[in-house]
């Protein structure tokens, strides 16, 4: 074979070699594990938590049964649930103050009995049948919850500040926690201003860890230390590495929410938070794998 015949073969071989090398590099990069040097109070690891299940950016409505179960199925270590109580002491998993915002009925949950809410469907996505559910409906129908964490974000929309109402709320939670044996997996979330509820839970059920919800770090630390909370919950938009470090110095873990981007997940991991209640759950699970 002369030089003229060898040259095209050599060029073809080189092109093939370059192409194969390029594919190998791409494959290596796609499989590359994200290595984060996390230092926190959660065993130096970040726990991925579904925000209302799969998150607000998912096709499932936030807080519906299907969203919560799907988050368990794909590997979330737990979920954040928005909880409200009806007039007849039923704990409902729902975020908004008025049902009309996202369902086919209207009214404020604290003013209604469960019979008036039962069967309510989410408006979106269209032509679907995702329903508003109670906390007991979730626990009764989802064996997938075993071993999962529940961040119970209690939303006290009822303006009644009486000790009697706080006692009803406590009893409603205790009944389900004990019936389904989830005390070890429950994390109660209370706003920093809900001092009556915080004190009542601390005095009567010290076995249920408390997180303080706040947008003010110093307020969260003050209330957290006063009532022996184990952590604070803050929107990701107001936290930084310095604020997380300050909470950790006071032996308070940090959970964050309001993360709607992949970059937001990465940023919170790099800032050493303990729990991420993410709306980009699939991505968070992937980078923490």
For 144-197, the pLDDT digits (tens) are 888 999 999 999 999 998 999 999 999 999 999 999 999 999 999 999 999 999
Tell me the torsion sign for CA atoms 35, 36, 37, 40: negative
Residue 42 to residue 44: CA distance in whole angstroms: 5
Q: What is the pLDDT of residue 25?
A: 43
The whole-number pLDDT of residue 144 equals: 82
- What sign results for the dihedral spanned by CA atoms 95, 98, 101, 103? positive
List pLDDT tens digits, range 56-85: 889 999 999 999 999 999 999 999 999 999
Residue holding tokens 């936290």? Answer: 239
Q: What's the pTM value of the predicted model, to 2 decimals?
A: 0.87
Q: Which of 25, 6, 121, 113 is nearest to 66 (CA)?
A: 121
Per-residue tokens: 201: 């839970």
Instruction: Name the more confident of 4 and 264.
Output: 264
DSSP 32: P
Residue 248 has pLDDT above 60, yes or no: yes
Q: Please state the length of the chain.
A: 289
Q: Do residues 247 and 217 touch, judged by C-beta distance below 8 A?
A: yes
Contact 68, 50 (CB under 8 A): yes
Cβ–Cβ contacts within 10 Å for residue 203, how many?
A: 10
- pLDDT of 202 strictly over 90: yes
């Amino acid at each position: 074979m002369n030089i003229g015949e060898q040259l095209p073969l050599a060029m073809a071989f080189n092109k093939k070699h370059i192409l194969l090398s390029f594919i190998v590099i791409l494959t290596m990069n796609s499989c590359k594990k994200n290595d984060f040097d996390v230092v926190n109070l959660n065993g130096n690891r970040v726990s991925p938590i579904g925000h209302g299940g799969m998150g607000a950016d998912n096709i499932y409505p936030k807080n519906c049964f299907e969203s919560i179960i799907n988050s368990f199925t794909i590997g979330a270590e737990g979920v954040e649930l928005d909880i409200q109580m009806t007039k007849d002491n039923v704990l409902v998993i729902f975020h908004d103050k008025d049902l009309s915002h996202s369902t086919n009925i209207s009214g404020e949950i604290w003013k209604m009995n469960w019979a008036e809410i039962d069967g309510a469907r989410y408006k979106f996505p269209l032509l679907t049948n995702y329903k508003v559910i109670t906390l007991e409906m979730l626990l009764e129908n989802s064996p997938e919850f075993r071993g999962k964490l529940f961040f119970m974000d209690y939303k006290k929309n009822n303006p009644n500040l009486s000790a009697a109402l706080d006692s009803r709320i406590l009893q409603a939670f205790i009944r389900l926690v004990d019936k389904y044996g989830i005390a070890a997996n429950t994390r109660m979330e209370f706003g920093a201003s809900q001092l009556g509820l915080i004190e009542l839970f601390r005095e009567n059920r010290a076995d249920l860890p408390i997180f303080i919800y706040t947008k003010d770090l110093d307020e969260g630390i003050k209330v957290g230390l006063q009532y022996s909370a184990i952590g604070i919950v803050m929107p990701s938009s107001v936290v930084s590495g310095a604020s997380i470090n300050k909470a950790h110095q006071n032996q308070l873990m940090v959970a964050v929410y309001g993360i709607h981007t992949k970059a937001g997940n990465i940023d919170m991991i790099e800032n050493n938070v303990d729990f991420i209640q993410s709306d980009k759950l699939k991505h968070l699970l992937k980078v923490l794998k």
